[in-house]
Chain A
């Protein structure tokens, strides 16, 4: 492969830029200089760790190890989705709604890709499976988090309006229909924007990476198109699933709106 390997000094120079940014934000009292350094350290540690793990994984190709890493990635994504919710569901649901939907959509789409489209030998070849799943999860996570946050915050704000429909004798799914539709749409907007901007405003990261690594631009483009479609469907299905499960959970078996199932903030009053 004809690409230029980086040495430690190359990274140090780039790191100096981040340090300068941190110093500047300290001077401007933005209050994020420390966070910035911490985030830079965190990303370095996490990436080195995953690099190390991938090295191990490539050396010992075994479905068990791939499954283990995939599970860890899924659980981490589930945690991030939960942390981003201001009005998250209480109990296991807070974690479960997002994680389950991401599992269903990301894993299904990744499996289809590996088994039907790319077909590496063996199909769980970590060189393909892990980056694909990572891209799926990373994007689906955003859609799911946005969709769920919109669902729960709208419901909290519009409690009385939803109850007005319940009082009028509307079934729960009708009472929540507009909010549910809106939340699904919100979760899918970033994915639509990404598809619209691809190649015109932004050169997507994966394609850039392949080109940097010496791949033919057209080969990289074909992969990128594939990835775009996979991300779009994975994010879409994941967001729909999460909002669907979430909306169901907001109502009980008597079709009552149960905001007590959400973490309550100070604005909430009975």
Chain B
């Protein structure tokens, strides 16, 4: 069943066409990667789906419901969790507090004036942290964590909204290679076990070819190829403009590593 559908998304910045007629669909439990060189329009496309940007043309539907141009907070309430290229967390909160805050927001309790926020949703928050492997660090300020751990916390925050869809903008940017693989494996595991659709952009080809079910290749705002990792890897056009031969070899290696 189609969870997310983007049809003909178009966005201009001044004279530059950042996205042109971008169309794709994503099913529940599926991981869809958007790849492309810098400035290809990945983040633009992403932000149009997440509500951070309003498209000039085209539409986005979530499980059949139109969400085009909705602000992020409303997109979130429809079951979309999101992580950012530069991890966005609440720096003054503890790890646990971050997730509690997300749960408070998810339950629509942000306007409560008298309850003790520190005592709310503790167990649920700990459970979420446990799923991303951060339960042991629950009481540390999030500002003290290594960047890879911050990304995990951000994932837990995104999961707090019980999302049907996760939007992850370069989930592994700025991480060490070992951490990258672990995080992607974690995301893939959660997505498959809970039927959450994941749309992600990524520069790291290892991560893309290891975990994506399908791949879109975006160049200068246009989709130039789409398909399974194998299809994309074999596409001569993609090889010419983007992957190159070294990229192809890396993709094959990553595939082997992930599937034994």
Are A and B genuine complex partners?
A: no
